[in-house]
Structure 1
Amino acid sequence: MNDIQRLFSVFFCCRSRQNQARRIIPTDSDDPRRSFIYFGIDALSINNSTTLIIADFGSSHGRNSIQTMKMIIEYLKQANKLRSSPLIIHNDLPTNDWTRLFQLLAEENLYKALVNGCSFYEQCLPLNCLSIGFSSASLHILSKKPCNIDNHCYFHFANEKERELLQAQSKSDFARFLKYRSQELQSGGVLILNIPSIKENEEMGFHFYFDLIYKSAKSLKILTSQELVDFTIPFYLRSLSECLDFELFNRYLLKLIKAEFICLKLLIFDQYQNGEIELDYFAKSLTMLMRPGTDSALKEALKLNQRTNQEIEHISTQFWSLFEEKLKLESYDGNINTYATYLILKKN
């Protein structure tokens, strides 16, 4: 739904866990999505005499989305499940950088596409039209903030009451997402989902960098105390058990075809720790990864407090320059792992 979703699809190698047994995902590519997407397409069982409609929910700027759609189309051809050119729908919020996506679509010229500017927590498409629904690293983004987080901006550092509110919002949002996708899917259509997750009872090293974001905000003297309070990133990472909601699947006529709990190790951290890239490059690259999704929360807090557009852009630039400089002074020495739950759901 915004670019931080790409944190989990750039610069990584991976291992997976299924049914508590660890193994390497079989794949012919460094991209762990590939074998999972292939499995989802193999499960597809709709009338292929009609035009297939494929939607990416949370396309962001489009580069990763376009490449994924290309991957899906190529395998549909290999699997003999494509009789005519499919129609691709790129979905994201109206505030998305659509100009960038249009430019990339024109440059690539790979398929026929439309864009859909609305929240994927609403109905986005007509009933019973969708063949394949895909979403990569977007479903941790909440439809709204249920509360501000006291003395921080990130859910991991929320107190018990705040965390309960965030968890409830996450559960409600997941139900809405599945409800509307089920209505849009044809019988026999599939959802292929990559959901950013947490491993229960494990400290994630990546939280260090969200803590550094909050420290940067506190250090930015131009922010008022109220703006700091309002700076809450509307994220919630589910556990595997929260993703596997069978009551919800049954309610919306969705059958679980496959589930994987994936450990993603961001290669950029290994490269830096092994001395393969310089500190300046590491700090700049990580800032580029962290900025888009987090920046929207910062800008929303500034807008809420009546800042002008010019002020908002100026403060944003200052903030991310400060964050990049702090990255050069502070780093996390342990392993930086992130996790995702991969789900394939099929409409009955």
Structure 2
Amino acid sequence: MAGETTTNATGEKAASFGKAHVPYGEDGSGHYTLATKGCFDVIENAKELCLEALNKAEKPNSSTTTQEQALCIADYGTADGGTSMPLITELIRAHRKRDPNGDVLVTYEDQPNNDFKSLFFYVQGIKDLGRDGYSKSYLEEFDNVYVTACGTSFHKQCFPSNSVHLGVSFTAMHWLNKKPCNITTGVHMTQAKGEERDKFAAQAAEDWENLLFHRANELAPGGRMVIVNFCVDANGYHLGYTDKSSVCMYDEFNRHWQAMMSEGKITKEEYEAGTILNYYRNDAEMRAPFAEGTRVFAAGLRLVSAETKITRCPYNEDYVANKANRDAREAAKGIIGTMRTWSNSSFLTALDSNTRTEAERKALVDELYGRYEDAIAADPEKNHMDYAHHYIVMEKVGQ
């Protein structure tokens, strides 16, 4: 997919800008935030870690320039920004207790084709998050807070060296910089075997070291960062596969995608091109770049803490708890809706744009999700998108 030009579901052209992901939904609609209830829960689970990181991060140097006086918070891989806004609000509120009038700069990073329009709608209070207890944006609540956005991939350096006091990233840095190969035994690296698995692991290791090195450069001495990243935990659990049931989300994706190939609706090449461009690191893979002797270590980045957590799929949880009053089809739509926000472009871009019209490709992808939705509607209780994450805290030692 690297270097390809593709067309997303709204007809806008987009290239594989490092993460090879095209946002799903109408630009400016805030679709990602509205369709991903679970992401709020994932970030809520990181709130205390982030507040502690802010408290322990070295304060801006008030004896230097105005820009250096401002507290700089950077949110990497932010999507449309909505899911992290309650946390950013809490961080600014906490900072105000130690610096009542100081400037705060919140800067958002994502790929160039990101839905920045929705991000600014949310931040400026033009669009409502639709969350209980969150009635206005932090720009409406606090003075001396400023917002910018960066359209450079986090696989590169995004901000000036020594400028970020607190970095955060939620469910983003599992996306790889490039595809090492197609996976012929499934749609995701958790299904890869042999040489294909090895190639994905090697690419993921290279990308993880590189992006941590860039964060080390960007963090100010004494700065901290919290990364919440998809993982494979010690039990072998990962996104869409936990102790909750025997149904694995990626096996289901593969079952329906493979059936469409068997029926002649897509080609073998298109089936294999549906490989999703991300990698879930295990604990050893996550920790490797922090070891003494690596360039990440030499750049001053240190691992403070790391743990794994399971966050339950809110759509499945709601159905199971209230199934006597819940419609199975609506439950299925909710689960598919959150899956589609991040996976749609992987299947859409797999279809041959030289031989298929945009409408044909979109219809085929709609069929894929329609098949999966039907399967979930038949038994919502055993279908879910539980989350498995590493919750990682790191700091840059003074230099």
TM-score range, shorter chain: 0.7 to 0.9
Deviation per CA, 1:288-336: give whole Å up to 9, x if none: 1110211121122125666444433333333322321222235574997
Structure-2 separation of matches of 1:123 and 1:205: 28
Q: Does 1:284 align with 2:355?
A: no
Structure 2 counterpart of 1:314, from 345, 363, 386: 363
Deviation at 1:193, TM superposition (A): 0.9
Deviation per CA, 1:86-121: give whole Å up to 9, x if none: 111111111212222222222236242111112100
Structure-2 separation of matches of 1:210 and 1:44: 39
TM-score, structure 2 normalization: 0.75
Q: Does 1:215 align with 2:258?
A: no
- Per the alignment, residue 99 of structure 1 pairs with 117
> Residues 195 and 341 of structure 1 are in contact (CA less than 8 Å); yes or no, is this contact kept in structure 2?
yes
- Per the alignment, residue 19 of structure 1 pairs with none
Structure 2 counterpart of 1:74, from 81, 85, 93: 93
Deviation per CA, 1:66-100: give whole Å up to 9, x if none: 2232222122223x156423111111111212222
- Per the alignment, residue 49 of structure 2 pairs with 36
Structure 1: which 5+ runs fail to align?
Answer: 15-29
> Residues 52 and 82 of structure 1 are in contact (CA less than 8 Å); yes or no, is this contact kept in structure 2?
no
Deviation at 1:203, TM superposition (A): 4.9
Give the secondary-structure state (helix, strand or coil) at the position aligned to 2:226: strand
**Distance 1:173-1:43 versus aligned 2 partners, 3 A rule:** same
Structure 2 counterpart of 1:302, from 345, 351, 355: 351
**Distance 1:234-1:305 versus aligned 2 partners, 3 A rule:** farther
Structure-1 separation of matches of 2:83 and 2:227: 15
> Residues 192 and 343 of structure 1 are in contact (CA less than 8 Å); yes or no, is this contact kept in structure 2?
yes
Give the secondary-structure state (helix, strand or coil) at the position aligned to 2:173: coil
**Distance 1:314-1:8 versus aligned 2 partners, 3 A rule:** closer
Structure 2: which 5+ runs fail to align?
Answer: 1-18, 25-31, 63-68, 126-136, 140-144, 242-247
Asked which structure has the greater RCO (Cα within 8 Å, sep 6+), the reply is 1
Deviation per CA, 1:189-222: give whole Å up to 9, x if none: 1111111111135355824112111222223353
Deviation at 1:35, TM superposition (A): 0.8
Give the secondary-structure state (helix, strand or coil) at the position aligned to 2:103: coil
Tell me the C-alpha RMSD between the 2 structures. 2.8
Q: Which moved more, 1:190-199 or 1:103-112?
A: 103-112
> Residues 303 and 395 of structure 2 are in contact (CA less than 8 Å); yes or no, is this contact kept in structure 1?
yes
Give the secondary-structure state (helix, strand or coil) at the position aligned to 2:217: helix
Q: Does 1:235 align with 2:278?
A: yes
Structure 1 counterpart of 2:208, from 174, 199, 206: 174
Deviation at 1:178, TM superposition (A): 0.8
> Residues 73 and 106 of structure 2 are in contact (CA less than 8 Å); yes or no, is this contact kept in structure 1?
yes
**Distance 1:87-1:258 versus aligned 2 partners, 3 A rule:** same
Deviation per CA, 1:14-50: give whole Å up to 9, x if none: 8xxxxxxxxxxxxxxx921111111111220133520
TM-score, structure 1 normalization: 0.85
> Residues 273 and 350 of structure 2 are in contact (CA less than 8 Å); yes or no, is this contact kept in structure 1?
yes
Deviation at 1:338, TM superposition (A): 3.2
Give the secondary-structure state (helix, strand or coil) at the position aligned to 2:318: helix
> Residues 60 and 70 of structure 2 are in contact (CA less than 8 Å); yes or no, is this contact kept in structure 1?
no
Q: Percent identity?
A: 23
Question: Superposition pairs for residues 18-29 of structure 1, below 5 Å?
Answer: none
Structure-2 separation of matches of 1:128 and 1:206: 37
- Per the alignment, residue 250 of structure 1 pairs with 297
> Residues 165 and 220 of structure 2 are in contact (CA less than 8 Å); yes or no, is this contact kept in structure 1?
yes
| Aligned positions, number | 332
Structure 2 counterpart of 1:342, from 384, 391, 396: 391
Deviation per CA, 1:110-154: give whole Å up to 9, x if none: 242111112100111122211111101111111121111113111
- Per the alignment, residue 232 of structure 2 pairs with 198
